[in-house]
Chain A
Amino acid sequence: MSTPTHDPHSGDRPDRGTDTATPGTDPTNPSSASAQGTADTADPNPADVDMDEPPAGGSFARYFLRKLGGAATSMVLVIVLGFFAFRMLPGDPVLKIAKERPMSPAQIAELRSQYGLDKPVIVQFWDYLVGIVTGDLGESYVYRKSVSSLIGDYLGPTLLLTGTAAVIAIALGLWLGQLSAWRRNSLFDKLASSTSLIFWSVPTFWLGLILLMIFGGTLQWLPTGGMITPGLDPWSPAGIIDVITHLILPVVSLVAVVYAQFLMIMRASLLEEMSEDYLTTARAKGLTEDEVRRRHAVPNALLPTVTVVFLHIGGLIAGAVTVEAVFSWPGLGKLTFEAIRGPDLPLLQGTFVVFSALIIVMNLAADIVYRFLDPRVRRV
C-alpha cells in the first residue's frame, strides 16, 4: 500500500492556492494588467474566494443577497468611475479630431455641440446616468453609431476568440495540472510547471508578435490578421475554415499565456485531495494508481476547481484586448483600442462598463456556483 505524497495543507477547509504559487492577478504581470485596469474592483484571485465568508451558517438567500449586493456596489463604482476616469484624461477629443485639418473655429464649435461637449460636466454626467439606466450608452464620436449597437457587433468575435481560448486553456491546464500533481516533484511536474510559468510571464503582445512573424511572415502558414478573408461568406465551408485559420495564432497566444493559472489551480487542488483517506480505501479495493487518480482523486479535485475557473474567464476576456490589437481581430478589445486612439469617450465608457460588468458577473457566478458545487461549504 503506497501512500501518496503528503500534503501539509490537508484539512476540510477549501484552502486551495496557499501551498502553490497560484497565478492570480499580479500587478507586475503585463498580461493581467489589463484585467486590473478594467476592473480593479473585481479581483479574480482564487486565493481570495470566500476567504471572507464563514463556511458555516447563513441561509442561501442571505449568502446570495450579500454577494449580489457586492456585485451591485462594484457595478455602481464602475459606472461612476467610467465617466470621470476618462474625463480626467488629458487632451480635447475635438481638437484631436480637428488636428491638421482645414477647420474653422465655427466647424470646431459645431462638432463640440454635436458631441455634447459644450455642456457642463455635471449635465453630461446626468445624461450619461440617465442613458445607462435606459440602456443607452451614447453615440460614438468616431463611428457615429450607438455604442450599444457597436458593442453588440463586436461582442461575437470576442466571444469566439476568448471562448475557444478558454476551452483549450482550461482543458490543457487541468489535464497537465492533474498529471503534475500526481507526479509531484518528478521531471514532468517540474517541466510542465516551469514551462507554463515561463509562458505566463511572457508579455502577450510580444508572444503574439513573435508568432505573427514566424508563422505569418516567414513561414507564411497562417494569416497575419483579421477574422476572415474579405469577400468570403463566414457560413460557407470555405469561410468556416478561413475563420479557423485566422483563429489559430490569436488563440495560441492567449492559451500559451493563460493556461498556467489553470494548471496551478488543478495541481494545488489535486495535491490536497491526495492525502484523503478515501484514496487509501480505493487502493485497498485493488485499483491501480492510474485508476485511483482518474476515478477518484481527479473528479473530487475538479469540483472546487470548476468554480475557480469561472473567475478566470472574466480575466481572459479582458486579456483579449492585447491579442485583438496584435492580430487585428475585430472584437471588443480592438474596439477599445480604437476608442483609446480616438479618444472616443462614449465608446471608451461603454466598453469599460461592459468589460467590468462581464468580470463582475463572472465573479458573482463563481461565488454562486461555488456554493452549489462544493458540498463542504454548505455542510460544515
Chain B
Amino acid sequence: MVTQHSLRRTVRVSLRRCLAGIAALALAGSMAASPAQAADSEAPAAENVLRIATDGFIDSFNPFTSFYLVPTNTFRYMYENLVANDAKDGSVTEGLATEWNTDSDGKVWTYTIRPDMKWSDGEPLTSKDVAWTYNQMMDNDEMAVANGSLVENFAKVEAPDDSTVKITLKKAQANNPGQEIPVVPEHVWSKIDNPGEFKNDEKSVGSGPFQLDSYEANKSITLKANPNFWRGKPKLDEIQYRYYTNSDAQVQAIRSGEVDFITGLSPDQFTALENADNVELNDGNGRRFNGISINPGVADADGKEFGTGNEALGDKKVRQAIRAGIDTETLRKQVMQDYAQPATSFIPAVYPDWALSPDNPVVSGFDVDRAKTLLDDAGWKEGSDGIREKDGEKLQLRFLTDADVPTEQSTAKFLKPWMKDIGIDLKNESTDADTESERTTKGDYDMYFSGWSINPDPDYQLSINTCGQRPDAEGNGGTSQDGWCNKEFDKLYQAQHVELDQAKRQELVQKALAIHYEEAPSVTLWYPNQLEAYRSDRFENFTKQPSDGGAIANQVGYWGYSSVEPVSAGEATGGGMGAGGWIGIGAAVIVVLGGGGWLLSRRRKSDDRE
C-alpha cells in the first residue's frame, strides 16, 4: 500500500505544519495583543487627528453626482458655497461672497466675491469659478444628478468681473440661491474629460477648511486641513472617518478611545455612555421630525385617486380626531426617553424663525373627549364593541411600521389602546423598510410612521407638500411628503417663495404650516435629539449648530469640526503593555512550549518503528 502509506505521511506532515502555524500565529498575536492604544501611537500625528466613527455609504466624492449623507457632509467641509448658514441659528451668512443683493422683484441676485482668496492648491479663486460651476449644473444633465433641483430656477449665471457673480432667475424667489451648491475650481474640473463620472476620491482641490486626502472604501476617509482656507487654517491637522458597520461597535470604540467622536446614538446607547471615562455627551437639538402620515386619499397630479387608503380618512375630522387621540407628550417621554423636543408641524423647533409656534391658536393638544366629538360629528357612531361604525362599516385602520426600528414598534404599542379609547380599531402592520416604502408609494396604507431631515430654509419642505409634487398618473415621480393637496396651502407656498421681506415671509410660512396642521394629513410626534459623544481627554471646542443646544455632526455648514482643537499635549492615553499583552504572551509561551515539546517527542519516537 505505497499510496496509502505516502498519503498518511503527507497528512501527518501537514498536521505538524498546521500546528506549528498555529503556534506562530499565537505568538504573533501575543506580540500584538498590547492594547489598541499601542497600535495608535504608531499612527502618525495621532494626537491631532480627529477620528470619527461612520457607517455611511460613499458613491463618490463628486459634488455634482453624489447624494449620500457622508459625502454630502464631507462636501460641506471641502467646498465653500457662495453663502453659508450661520452656526448660531442657521441664518444666511457670508461664504465666498461677502455681500449680496437682489433687485426689487427678486429675479436678479448679485454677489460680491471676497478678494484674494486661494484654492487649496494655491491658485486664485474668483467669480469665474462660481459661474463655471453653476453653468455646468445647468447645461449638463449628468452634472445635475445631485443638486439639479437647486439650479432649476436659474436662467443664467454670469461673472462680469473677478469679484462679481450675477444670477438671473426664471421666477423670483426669496430663498437665497447661493446656498448649498459646492463651488469647484474651474482650473481642475475643466480638464477632466468626463466630469460626471469623475470620482474625486484622492487629493481634492477645494476652498473649504478640510480637503480629502485619501479614501479607502469601507475602511477610512482622511481629510487634511486646508492652509488656504479664508477663515484661517483649522487647528486640527486631520479628520479621519473610520468605518464601523455596527453602532454598538461604535459605542465600544469611543469607550476604548479608538475613535474620538460618534453620532446618531440611540437613547439606550447614550445613557450607557453616561459614566464612561473621558467621554463627553452632547444631547443636541436635531433638524429632523418624526410623525405619523395619514392617508388623506392620495391622488396623482391630475387628482385621480389611487391606493387602498380608508375612505374615512378623506374626512378632515377623522384625521383631527386621530391627532387629538394621541398623547404626544407621553410618547416623547416614554418612547424617546425625553431625548426629543415637543413638536408642532414639519419644521423643527431648531429653526425658531420658521417652526409653527406652539402658541398658534390652531395648535391643539391631547384631548380624548374632543376626539370623540369629532368622530361623532363625522358620523362615526360607537358600536356595541366600542368600535365606531358608519353605514355598517367598522372604523378599522392599518398602521405601517418598520419592524427594525424600536421607536416605531413602541409607538405602535401606545397607539393601539389610545385609538381603541376613541373608537378606532388600529391594526399594527410591522414590516421591513423596503415594503413600507413600496406600499406608501403606491398609497397602500392608512397610516405610517414617517420622518424627514429639514434644511434651514423651509422652502423645499413646503414645496413637497404642494399639489404639484404628487406623482404622475402611473404613480411615479412623486416626492410628496404626505400625498396631500390643498389649494390654499399652494397659494401661501408661492407667496412665501417670492417674498423678500423676511418678517412677511415668516408670517406666510406660519400660515401655511397652520393650514397643514389644521388639515392633519400627518401628526408630527416629536423632533428627535441628535445624540453624540466625544473624547474630552483628546479634543475640545466643538461648535454646535445652533450654538445654543444644537448638534455637532450633520450640520448645514462646516462649523462642527473646524473649531476643534486638541486638549493640551502630553495627556494622550499612555502606551505600555496592558494586562492583555501579558496574558497573550503567556498563552503563546504555553502553546509554543507545549506544541513544540509534543512535536519533538513525536519526531524522536517516529521513524525508528514501522
Residues of chain A touching chain B, judged by Cβ–Cβ distance below 8 Å, are 89-92, 95-111, 114, 141-144, 150, 153-154, 164, 167-168, 170-171, 174, 209, 212-213, 215-232, 238, 240-242, 244-245, 248, 287, 291, 294-295, 299-300, 302-303, 306, 324-328, 330, 334-335, 337-338, 341-343, 373, 375
Stretch with Cβ within 8 A of A (4 or more), from B157-165, B211-219, B351-359, B405-413: B211-219
Give A229 to B257 CA distance when docked, in angstroms.
13
Check if B141 is an interface residue, CB within 8 A of chain A. Answer: yes
Residues in B neighbouring A217, C-beta threshold 8 A: 251-253, 255-256
Contact of B11 among A95, A171, A231, A302 (CB under 8 A): A302
- When chains A and B are docked, how far (Å) is the Cα of A302 from the Cα of B290? 60
Of B18, B37, B57, the contact of A171 (CB 8 Å cutoff): B18
Question: Known contacts A102-B460, A144-B59, A242-B39: does B222 contact A222 (CB below 8 Å)?
Answer: no
Q: Is the CB of B453 within 8 A of A100?
A: yes
Decide: B145 and A110 in contact? CB cutoff 8 A.
Answer: yes
- On chain A, the residues within 8 Å of B437 by CB distance are 90-92, 95-96, 99
Q: Are B21 and A167 in contact (CB-based, < 8 A)?
A: yes
- CB contacts under 8 Å to A, within B427-443, are 432-435, 437-439, 441
Task: Given contact pairs A171-B19, A212-B249, A218-B255, enumerate 14 new A-B contacts (beta carbons under 8 Å).
Answer: A91-B435, A141-B59, A219-B579, A221-B578, A225-B249, A226-B220, A230-B216, A231-B220, A245-B36, A328-B243, A328-B246, A330-B217, A335-B218, A338-B245
Instruction: Using A171-B22, A222-B580, A223-B258 as known contacts, say yes or no to A231 and B199 having CB atoms under 8 A apart.
Output: no
Given A245-B39, A294-B602, are A330 and B258 also a contact pair (CB < 8 Å)? no
Mark B88-131 against chain A: 1 for CB-CB distance below 8 A, else 0. 00000000000000000000000000000000000000000000
How close is A294's CB to chain B, nearest CB, in angstroms? 7
B173 to chain A, nearest CB (A): 14
- Residues of A contacting B253 with CB < 8 Å? 216-217, 224-225
- Who on chain B is nearest to A243 by CB? B32
Looking at the assembled complex, report how far the CB atom of A310 sits from the nearest CB atom of chain B, in whole angstroms: 14
**Of B12, B39, B216, B605, which is within 8 A of A229 by CB?**
B39
Question: Which residues of chain B from 201 to 250 have any CB-CB distance to chain A below 8 Å in the complex?
Answer: 216-220, 222, 240, 242-246, 248-249
On whether the beta carbons of A299 and B11 are closer than 8 Å, the reply is yes
Q: Is B478 an interface residue (CB 8 A)?
A: yes
Q: Is the CB of B222 within 8 A of A229?
A: no
Give 1 or 0 for each of B179-214: 1 = CB within 8 Å of chain A CB: 000000000000000000101000000000000000
Whether B243 pairs with A226 at a CB distance below 8 angstroms is yes
| CB-based nearest B residue for A238 | B42
Nearest chain A CB to B170 CB, angstrom units: 14
CB-defined contacts of B605 to chain A, threshold 8 Å = 291
A-B contact pairs, 19 of them (CB 8 A): A107-B144, A110-B144, A144-B59, A167-B22, A174-B15, A218-B255, A220-B580, A221-B33, A221-B578, A222-B580, A242-B42, A287-B609, A291-B609, A327-B249, A328-B218, A328-B245, A330-B217, A330-B218, A330-B243
- On whether the beta carbons of B3 and A213 are closer than 8 Å, the reply is no
Complex Cα spacing A221 to B36, Å: 6
Judge if B264 is at the interface, Cβ distance under 8 Å.
no
The residue that B248 contacts in the complex, of A170, A209, A218, with Cβ under 8 A, is: A209
CB distance from B293 to the nearest CB of A (A): 13
Taking CB atoms, residues of chain B closer than 8 Å to A219 are: 579-580
- State the CA gap A292–B476 with chains docked (Å): 75
A373 CA / B144 CA spacing, docked (Å): 62
Does B393 sit within 8 A of A, measured CB to CB?
no
Beta-carbon contact of B39 and A328 below 8 Å: no
**Nearest 8 A/B pairs, CB to CB:** A91-B434, A221-B580, A217-B252, A105-B477, A230-B220, A241-B32, A245-B32, A90-B435
A167-B240 contact in complex given A326-B249, A327-B249, A330-B219, C-beta closer than 8 Å:
no
Residue contact B219 to A143, C-beta cutoff 8 Å: no
Is the pair B28, A306 in contact by a Cβ cutoff of 8 Å? no
Question: What is the chain A residue whose CB lies nearest that of B3?
Answer: A375
Contact between chains at B432 and A226 (CB < 8 Å) = no
Q: Is the CB of A343 within 8 A of B434?
A: yes
What are the residues of chain B within 8 A of A213 when measuring CB–CB? 248, 252
By the criterion CB–CB under 8 Å, are B245 and A325 in contact? yes
Complex contact A216–B249 (CB within 8 A)? yes
Alpha-carbon separation in the docked complex, A164 to B18 (Å) = 11
- Rounded to whole angstroms, the CA-CA distance of A338 and B57 in the bound complex is 8
Checking A104, A150, A306 against B148 with a beta-carbon cut-off of 8 angstroms, the contacting residue is A104
Task: Please tell me if the beta carbons of A222 and B244 are within 8 angstroms of each other in the complex.
Answer: no
Residues of B within 8 A of A103 (CB): 67, 148-149, 479
Closest to A306 in B: B11
B177 at the interface (CB under 8 A from A): no
Q: Which residues of A contact B246 (CB under 8 A)?
A: 209, 225, 325-328
Assess whether B40 is interfacial by the CB under 8 Å rule.
Answer: yes
Closest beta carbon of chain B to A308's beta carbon, Å: 14
B11 nearest in chain A by CB position: A302
A289 → B minimal CB distance (Å): 14
Q: How far in angstroms is the closest Cβ of chain A from B140?
A: 11
Restricting to B544-598, which residues have a CB under 8 Å from any CB of A? 578-581
Whether the Cβ atoms of A89 and B148 lie closer than 8 Å is: no
Q: Which residue of A lies closest to B28 (CB)?
A: A244
Minimum Cβ distance to chain A for residue B239 (Å) = 11
A198 to B501, CA, bound (A): 71
Residues of A close to B33: CB separation below 8 A = 221-222, 245, 248
Q: Given the complex of chains A and B, what is the CA–CA distance between A337 and B222 in angstroms?
A: 23
- Using CB atoms, name the residue of chain B closest to A97: B67
Set A105, A294, A337: member contacting B245, Cβ < 8 A: A337
Please give, as numbers and ranges, the residues of chain B lying within 8 Å of A97 by CB-CB distance: 67
- CB pair A299–B8 under 8 Å, yes or no, is yes
Decide if A144 touches B199 in the complex (CB within 8 Å).
yes
- How far apart are the CA atoms of A104 and B148 in the complex, in Å? 8
Chain B residues within an 8 Å CB radius of A225: 242-246, 249, 253
Closest to B53 in A: A225
**Binary contact readout B129-146 vs A (1 if CB under 8 angstroms, 0 otherwise):** 000000000000100110
Assembly CA distance A105 to B452 (angstroms) = 18
Quote the shortest CB–CB distance from A133 to chain B (angstroms): 25
Q: How far is the CA of A213 from the CA of B452 in the complex (A)?
A: 33
What residue of chain B has the Cβ atom nearest to residue A242's Cβ? B39
A100-B453, A224-B256, A226-B243 are known contacts. Are A89 and B434 too (CB-CB below 8 A)? yes
A177 to chain B, nearest CB (A): 13
**Across the interface, which residues of A come within 8 angstroms of B216, CB to CB?**
230
CA–CA, A173 and B12, complex, Å: 16
Is the C-beta of B379 less than 8 angstroms from some C-beta in chain A? no
In the complex, B328 has a CB within 8 A of chain A: no
Closest to A247 in B: B29
Interface assignment of B25: CB less than 8 Å from any CB of chain A: yes
Question: Are A230 and B244 within 8 A (Cβ)?
Answer: no
A291 to B609, CA, bound (A): 11
Partner of A143, one of B18, B59, B243, B245: B59
- Select the residue from B29, B36, B68 with max chain A CB neighbours within 10 A: B36
Which residues on B sit within 8 Å (CB–CB) of A338?
57, 218, 245
**Other-chain contact of B35, A212, A221, A326 (Cβ < 8 Å):** A221
The residue in B11, B55, B145 that gathers the most chain A C-beta atoms within 10 A of its C-beta is B11
Chain B neighbourhood of A153, CB < 8 A: 217
Chain B neighbourhood of A170, CB < 8 A: 18
A230 & B251 in contact (Cβ 8 Å cutoff)? no
* B152 lies within 8 A of chain A by Cβ: yes
Residues of B within 8 A of A241 (CB): 28, 31-32, 39
From known contacts A241-B32, A338-B218, infer whether A223 and B580 are also in contact, taking CB-CB under 8 Å. Answer: no
Query: What distance in Å separates the Cβ of B469 from its nearest Cβ neighbour in chain A?
Result: 9
The verdict on B362 contacting chain A, using a C-beta distance below 8 Å, is: no
Closest-by-CB residue of B relative to A170 is: B18
Q: Find out whether the CB atom of B219 lies under 8 angstroms from the CB atom of A227.
A: yes
Cβ of B7 within 8 Å of any chain A Cβ, yes or no, is yes
Contact B25 A164, beta carbon cutoff 8 Å: yes
B57 touching A342 by the CB < 8 A rule?
yes
Contacts of B432 in A (CB 8 A): 90
Q: In the bound complex, how far is the Cα of B434 from the Cα of A95, in angstroms?
A: 10
In the bound complex, CA of A90 to CA of B605 (Å): 65
Q: Report the nearest A residue to B148, measured CB to CB.
A: A107
